[in-house]
A and B are shown apart, each in its own frame.
Chain A
Amino acid sequence: MKAWGLRLVACGLPLFLVVAVTAQTQRSQPRFGIGRPATPDEIKAIDIDVMPDGRGLPPGRGTVQEGASLYAQKCQSCHGVNGQGASAERLVDRESGKNWDFAINPKLVKTVGNYWPYATTLFDYTSRAMPFMQPGTLAPNETYALVAYILALNKIVAEDAVMDPATLPKVVMPSRDKFVIDNRKGGKVIK
């Protein structure tokens, strides 16, 4: 009996290794059965990202005017009056950099207006990480309003614009088409 048991162990070990190695090389099965299913509620609780096509935007709405008052309360002390920058970065300036000479003009400051390619990014980031000392505390309506205000200051949306899950993804940012895929692949040519 003892010898048989040992033989089983001796056979079992390589078998286990074969399974593991196979798992390393195949994209599908087998599974280890480790981890537990995620419930829809727990996914919803932290699935906060917003994509460029608007997927992930929460219900809500906000106006430029509402945003102006919220900005004065929650943002201006770091980002300056009218988004001109202070201890935190400048948010507003569409004119400088409109020729997109960022690589050759060291004086240019990248802002939402002259550099950011997607308006949805502004919602996503503001919602997840701002205000800096109270991150993640803005209600969706507040975030929509602040985004509307920053976009209006940059003359990207009108003064009477309303931002909501339908309008925000339709905003076309001035620098939308300026970004190119990375063509560096090593080799002899310096790119």
Chain B
Amino acid sequence: MERAKTITRRRVLAAGTAGIMGAALPIAGQNADQAARPKVPADPTKVQGPLATDVGGRSPFERPRRVSFSDRRTSSLSPLQDLDGIITPSDLHFERHHGGVPAIDPRQYTLLIHGLVDRPLVFTLEDLRRFPGRSIIRFMECSGNGGRAYRREGNQTDVTPQQIDGLTSTSEWTGVPLATLFREVGASPKAKWFLAEGSDAAVMTRSIPIEKAFDDALIAYGQNGEPLRPEQGYPARLFLPGVEGNASVKWLRRIELADQPFMTREETSKYTDPLPDGTARIFSLDMDAKSLITEPSFPDQLTGPGWWEIRGLAWTGRGRITRVDISADGGRTWQPATLDDPVLPKCHTRFRLPWQWKGGEATLMSRATDETGYTQPTLDVLMAARGPSTAYHFNHIRAWKVNPDGTVKFAGGGA
């Protein structure tokens, strides 16, 4: 019952005040939400339902939506508070692009690999699919994700997990290991870096250390059992597990192997991290361990004291999450959460902890630890290391404040 109410609040928030499903204006005795609800038979056991369809859709009662920071939609955020488990539905995977989403005919598609190689080769999509393939379930996160929590302009409280951290998603990615292609072209031992270049209007480029190619880089053509979505790089993209999303260049048209990095605009002027000592990290590729409670969160309202399950996601770019601890008292005491199977490397991991709400004020926090022994820091600790106006990699502990009336508000780092 409470859950249904919660979902209603979320859907209304996502759909805005205009209602959903093109529903009629409210009639006498109805509020806007009731009028907007899809019509269904009073008793579904007394009427035959619709038959099979070519392509399925969501229940009309479920309206998860990506949202953007501004009207100029160069990115969109996954609705983390609406998701269960660890897989992000492909149409809800976050987006970030710098020149829009290009339209590419898969029959015209080619990938060129050249530079410090024995044999520069051109691969069609069919060629890529012929190589021995691999499927891996891995998260992808934009390294700018969570900047809103770190800077917390105006101490915003009425923000959802999606608005704070929606630039992270998890998919099953299918493709050919880049190592296989590098062996095919005969990568020179002199090659230390490779350039990945997209065929969007930004002709996006990033330089990647060659070790990543021989570790776990993938040229992906599949996502969650189907071809990549256009906004995820159709028909083929680079996928670098555990690494900041921008480096996984989409709509991949060219890879060049070289003895040094290319120093592209993104990896120098954008995706670098200023430090308080007057320097900036460059090629800060790995994503640090992070977690976020997605339920309860804004705009939920707990309908009464009693048992509630605290749920959320944890992930790290360095191996597996080994534990997630939960605090309901603003970080004074911590309890280990349960981690749902599977706990995969470089992948969203679902955590849960039943919690008895006494009806008073409570501050909920989650804290992830990964297999390197790294534990998600507090905001103060991270800010001391990085400075208040650093850019990228904002993985500090997040807090939600539960008020006596059951409303839940974002509380930044909790302090």
List chain A positions with a Cβ less than 8 A from chain B.
20, 23-24, 26-29, 31-32, 34-38, 42-43, 46-53, 99-106, 108, 110, 112, 115-118, 120-121, 124-125, 128-129, 135-136, 178-188, 190-191
Contact = CB atoms under 8 A, between A and B. Distances in A.
A131 to B, nearest CB: 11
Interface of B: 98-99, 112-114, 119-123, 127, 130-132, 151, 177, 179-180, 182-187, 195, 197, 201-203, 205, 214, 253-254, 256, 258, 260, 262-265, 268-269, 272, 274-276, 278-286, 288-289, 316, 318-319, 370, 372-375, 377, 381-382, 385-391
B398 to A, nearest CB: 16
Contacts of B275: 103, 180
14 contacts: A24-B180, A31-B183, A32-B184, A34-B127, A37-B122, A38-B121, A47-B254, A103-B275, A104-B276, A121-B268, A124-B265, A178-B279, A186-B370, A190-B377
Nearest to A103: B387
B387 to A, nearest CB: 3
A179 B390 CA distance: 14
Contacts of B99: 129, 135
Nearest to B375: A188
Nearest to B284: A182
Contacts of B286: 182, 184, 186
A74 B3 CA distance: 54
B268 A34 contact: no
Q: Is the interface of A mostly helix, strand, loop or mixed?
A: loop
A26 B183 contact: yes
Contacts of B388: 103-104, 106
A135 B256 CA distance: 22
Nearest to B180: A23
A179 B267 CA distance: 11
B132 A184 contact: no
Given A103-B274, A121-B268, A185 B372 contact: yes
Contact of A187 (B113, B256, B279, B374): B374
